[in-house]
Chain A
Amino acid sequence: MIDTVKNAEATPDQEQPYKELGLKDDEYARIKEILKRRPTDAELAMYSVMWSEHCSYKSSKVHLKYFGDTTTDEMRGKMLAGIGENAGVVDVGDGWAVTFKVESHNHPSYVEPYQGAATGVGGIVRDILAMGARPLAVMDPLRFGRPDAEDTKRVLPGIVAGVGGYGNCLGLPNIGGEVVFDESYQGNPLVNALCVGAMRVEDLHLAHASGTGNKVILYGARTGLDGIGGVSVLASETFDDTAGKRKKLPSVQVGDPFTEKVLIECSLELFEKGLVAGIQDLGGAGLSCATSELASAGDSGMHVRLDRVPLRATGMTPAEILSSESQERMCAVVEPANVEAFMEVCAKWDVIATEIGEVTEGDRLVITYHDEVVVDVPPRTVAHEGPVYHRPIQRPADQDELQANTPDSLPRPGRDELLALVKTMAASPNLASKKWVTQQYDRYVRGGTVLAQPSDSGMIRIDEETGRGVALSTDCNGRYTLLDPYEGAKLALAEAYRNVAATGATPVAVTNCLNFGSPEDPAVMWQFEQAVKGLADGCAELGIPVTGGNVSFYNQTGSTAILPTPVVGVLGVIDDVRRRIPTGIGAEAGETLLLLGETHDEFGGSEWAHHVHGHLGGRPPKVDLAREKLLGEILVAGSRDGMVSAAHDLSEGGLAQALVETCLIGEVGARVFPEGDLFTSLFSESAGRVLVAVPRTEEQRFTDMCTARRLPWRKIGVVDPESNALEVQGLGELPLDELREAWEGTLPALFD
C-alpha cells in the first residue's frame, strides 16, 4: 500500500526507518514539527536525501559563509551569479558569460570506477547546461592510492576509461586536470569533475522564473531503479515479500553519454527558441531535489503528478521515483503557450518529454500519485532549510609534532648524484608524464581547444570572430595542506592562479572542490575550517571571487582521513587566444631561459621528501600572494607584447622538473647554469616562480620590465636546438631520449 498523507495522519505512531536513511533523532523530530504529523515514506525519502551532508552542506554551511563575508563588491564586479546557483557565472567580455564548476564523485567511483567516474562527468555537465550555457570542455582532477597497489590497478584504469568513455561520447574536449598518487587515497580515490560553458550575457535568466499555471516538464531519460541508494530501505519495507526478487539495481548510477549529448543539443535549441522559463538538472537526489529547488526558487507552489513520470522499471514506489538518480534528465518550467513548441523540439531530438505538473498558487509542494497526495511540504524546508551543524573543531594533537618533523635532517644527495636524481624524479609516479591517462581523452572535439594537457592550463576559444577565450587550471597539493591547511589552501590557489597566468590569461574567478575526511572528527573540521579561511583570505588578497564550489566529506578509510584536499580551480580570460603562451620551449630560434621569482631552501611536503625518503613533515613553502599577483601581471604583459615565447610554472619537483618538461614538450634541448646550492636550486618547491623563455631580441625589454616592477629574475640558461639534451653546467647532460623514456615510461609500465 502506498503511504499517503491521509494514511500518515491516520497512523501517527507508525515506526519509520529514518535512522537507516541517515536521519538523526532530532532531525526526524524536526520534520514532524514542520509537517505537524509524521512524514509519508515519500516525504521521508525526500527529506533524508536533501538533508544529507552531500545535498544540505549541513556541516560546512557555517564555514562556507566566510567566502561570502570576504568577497568585496569590487570582487563581485564581474560576477553574474555566485554561490548557491548551480554554477557561478562570470562576465568575460565581448558580451560573453562563462560558467564553471567542479564537483566530486569520489565514493561511487571507488565502488564502481567506470560508471562512478562517467556519471561524475555527466552530472557536472548538466549543472553547466542548467545555467543556460553550452558546455565547452571538461577537466578531471583525480587522486589515487599507491601506484603499485593491486587495487589501484582496478580503480585507476576504470576511472580513466569512465571519464574518457563518457566525455568522448558526449563530445566535450578534456583539457586538463590532475593525476596524483598518495597512500591516503588508497581506499578512497578522489574523482573530481570540472565543466566550463559559455553563453551570451543576455541569455542568463534561465535559472529562475515561475508563474502560476506554468507547466513542469521532465525530459530526457526514463526514471529507473539505478542510484536509489539508501532509499531502498523503504522499498524493502513496502514490498516485504518480493524484496528479494525484485530490483536491487546497483546503487551507483549508470551513464548514457549518447542520451546526454542529445539532451544538450535539445536543451540548447529550447533555450535558443525562448521556450524555457526555468530549468533544473536532475543529479543527486533526483526529482526530490529538482522539484523542491524549482518550487523554492519561485514564489509559488507546485503540483507534481508522479504517476506521469516515464519509468523504465515496473512497480516503483513514489519514494523510489522521487529518489532515483537515473542520469540524463532535466526538469523545465514552461509557459502553457510554449508547451506545444517545447514538445516539438523534444520530438525532433527523439527526447522523451512529459508534463508532470504545474506551478500553483500558494507555497506548498504537493506531489500526488494516482490522485492520492503522497507529499505535501513547504519546499524551502526540503531544499534550503535543512539542519545546520556547528561541529566541534580541534587542532590535531600531533600537528605540532608533524610540523616539528622537518625535512632538514634528511640526507641530501651529493653533487655527483644530482643529475641522476633529475631523472629519478622525472620518472616518479607523481611527476611522470600523464600521457597514458590523457591520451584516452578526446581533446580536439568542437575545434576550440587551444591548450590542453600537458600545458599549465587548458585553454578554450569562445568566440571565433574575436578570438576571446578562457584558461583553466585546477591544483592542490594535499601534503602541503596536511602540514598547514590554511597556507596549503593558499598554495593551491597560488598554483592554479600562476598556471593560468603562465598561459597569458588574466585570472578572474575561483571555484573549488573541498575533499576532506569525516566532519564528525574535530581534527578534520579544523583542517576544513582552516582551508576555507586560507582560500577565502587568499582570494580576497588576489581580488578574485569564489563563484561556487562543492564539499565532499567522509573521504576516509576506517578512521584514517585522506590528505585534506581542497582542489582549487582558477578561471582566466584572454582577449585573443592567438597570443597564448605555450609550455614547451623552442618555438622561436634563440631563446633565453629566465627564472622569475625567488628560490629558498623549502622541502617540507616536497616531492623529493616524499619520493626519495617517504617523509612528510615540517612546513609547506611560504606563499606570497602579492608576489603571485605581480608575477601574473608580468606574464600577461609579456604575452600581450609578444615578449614571452614559452612559460612553465614551477611546482612539485621544482626547477629540475620544469626544465625536463619544457624541453620534452618542446622537443628541444637546453643549457642551464643554476647558482648557489645546486640541490636547493634544482629541487626546492618555493612558490611564486615561473620559468620563461624569451626571444633573445626581447630579453632586454622583458628583464627591464621585471626590474622596474621589482620582480626578482635571473637568467639561468639558453635553449639549444642543436643539443638534444638537457645540460646542467658543471654536472653534465641528460639526453632527451633518456629523459623521455624515464618521464613517459612510468605509467605504461604500471598500468598497461
Chain B
Amino acid sequence: MRVGVITFPGSLDDVDAQRAVRYADGEAVPLWHGDHDLKGVDAVVVPGGFSYGDYLRCGAIARFAPVMQEVIEAANKGMPVLGICNGFQILAEAHLLPGALTRNHKLHFVCRDQWLAVENNTTAWTTRYDRNAEILVPLKSGEGGYQADEDTLKELEDNGRVVFRYVGDNPNGSRNNIAGITNARGNVVGLMPHPEHAIDALTGPTDDGLGMFLSLLDTVVKA
C-alpha cells in the first residue's frame, strides 16, 4: 500500500500522517504541493497544519496548489482521500466535501483528548471500526466549527454521511456535533480530530486512530 502525504508550506502534521501510514504497514510517499504528480499512490492524506499560514481563510489557498488539482481528479475517480484538520478544511474549500469549518464558538484554540462516535463504518477509511464505537483521539484546532446549510445537513444525516460525531460537550460549535463527514461515494473522508496522533498510547491518548489507516489497508487490498 503506497499512501501519499502532501506537504504544503506550513503543513505540520505531515510527519505524523507518514508515521501512521507506516504503523499500518504502508509506504508513506511524500507529495510536494507544487508538483502535478501523485507518484502512483493508492491513496492520499491531506494532513493538518496551517497551509500557507492560513492567513486568508483556512485551506483557501491550498486548494489551488498544483498537487490538489491531481487529488481532486483522482478523488472523483474513486481514490481514497483523507483530510485531517487543515486537510479537512482544504477538502471543503476544494468542494470534495460539503460545508465549511469556522472559528470555534468560544474563539480559543482547543487542544484536548476528544471522544468520537464512529457512525459510518463503510467508508474507505473506517471499516475496521464497529458502528457506533467510541474512540478517543486528540482534537487541536482554532477553526473546527462545522457549518453547512439545512439542506446539506439533511443530505448528510439522511444518507449516513456523518462519519464521526463529537461525544459529550461540543468542543467548537459544530452543527449537529459533526466531527467528520464523507462524500456520497465514501472514498473521501474529512475530520477535524487527529487519528494520526492516536496510533500509540505512548505518544497519544490511545491507539484508537490506527484503525483508520488499517481500514485503508483493507480497502486498497480489496481494490
Q: Which A residues lie at the B interface, using CB under 8 A?
A: 161, 164-165, 168-169, 171, 256-259, 261-262, 349-350, 438-450, 461, 577-578, 752
Contact = CB atoms under 8 A, between A and B. Distances in A.
Contacts of A258: 9-10, 50, 52-55
27 contacts: A165-B109, A168-B140, A169-B54, A171-B13, A171-B49, A171-B50, A257-B50, A258-B53, A258-B54, A439-B110, A440-B110, A440-B111, A442-B140, A443-B111, A444-B111, A444-B140, A445-B12, A446-B15, A446-B16, A447-B15, A447-B197, A450-B202, A450-B203, A461-B203, A577-B202, A578-B202, A752-B106
B19 interface: yes
Interface in B1-19: 9-10, 12-13, 15-16, 19
B24 to A, nearest CB: 14
Contacts of A169: 10, 50, 53-54
Contacts of A446: 12-13, 15-16
B108 interface: yes
Contacts of B165: none
Interface string B35-77: 0000000000000011011110000000000000000000000
Contact of B13 (A261, A438, A441, A445): A445
A441 B112 CA distance: 9
Given A446-B16, A447-B16, A440 B109 contact: yes
Contact of A349 (B9, B55, B110, B204): B9
A444 B52 contact: no
Nearest to B137: A444
Contacts of B109: 161, 164-165, 168, 440-442
Contacts of B110: 439-440
B28 to A, nearest CB: 13
B53 to A, nearest CB: 3
Interface string B165-180: 0000000000000000
Category for how many chain B residues contact A:
20 to 34
Given A161-B108, A350-B9, A447 B19 contact: yes
Given A164-B109, A258-B52, A461-B203, A444 B194 contact: yes
A577 B10 CA distance: 29
A261 B203 contact: no
B187 to A, nearest CB: 26
Contacts of B50: 168-169, 171, 257-258, 261
B108 A440 contact: yes
Contacts of B203: 444, 447-450, 461
Nearest to B140: A442
Nearest to B32: A348
Contacts of B106: 752
Given A258-B50, A450-B203, 14 more contacts: A169-B54, A256-B53, A258-B10, A261-B10, A261-B12, A350-B9, A438-B111, A439-B111, A439-B112, A442-B111, A442-B140, A444-B197, A446-B16, A461-B203
B144 interface: no
Nearest to A438: B111
Contacts of B15: 446-447
Contacts of B19: 447
A202 B15 CA distance: 24
A350 B61 CA distance: 15
B111 A441 contact: yes
Contacts of B196: 447
Contacts of B108: 161, 439-440
Nearest to B18: A447
Interface string B181-223: 0000000000000101100001110000000000000000000
B138 interface: yes
A449 B140 CA distance: 14
B9 A171 contact: no
B59 to A, nearest CB: 14
Nearest to A577: B202
A549 B16 CA distance: 32
The CB with the most chain B CB atoms within 10 A, among A169, A349, A350, A442, is that of: A442
Contacts of B138: 444
Nearest to A467: B202
Contacts of A161: 108-109
Nearest to A461: B203
Contacts of A447: 15-16, 19, 196-197, 203-204
The 5 tightest CB contacts between A and B, nearest first, are A258-B53, A171-B12, A444-B197, A447-B16, A169-B50
Nearest to B138: A444
Contacts of A259: 53
Contacts of B194: 444
A449 B194 CA distance: 15
Contacts of B12: 171, 261, 445-446
A447 B197 CA distance: 6
B140 A262 contact: no
A639 to B, nearest CB: 15
Contacts of A450: 202-203
B178 to A, nearest CB: 21
A533 B19 CA distance: 46
Nearest to B51: A258
B125 to A, nearest CB: 19
B209 to A, nearest CB: 11
A445 B12 CA distance: 7
A441 B109 CA distance: 7
Contacts of A449: 203
Nearest to A578: B202
Contacts of A445: 12-13, 16, 140
A165 B108 CA distance: 10
Contacts of B197: 444, 447
The CB with the most chain B CB atoms within 10 A, among A169, A447, A578, is that of: A447
A441 B108 CA distance: 10
B180 to A, nearest CB: 17
A183 B49 CA distance: 38
Contacts of A752: 106
B156 to A, nearest CB: 28
Nearest to A168: B109
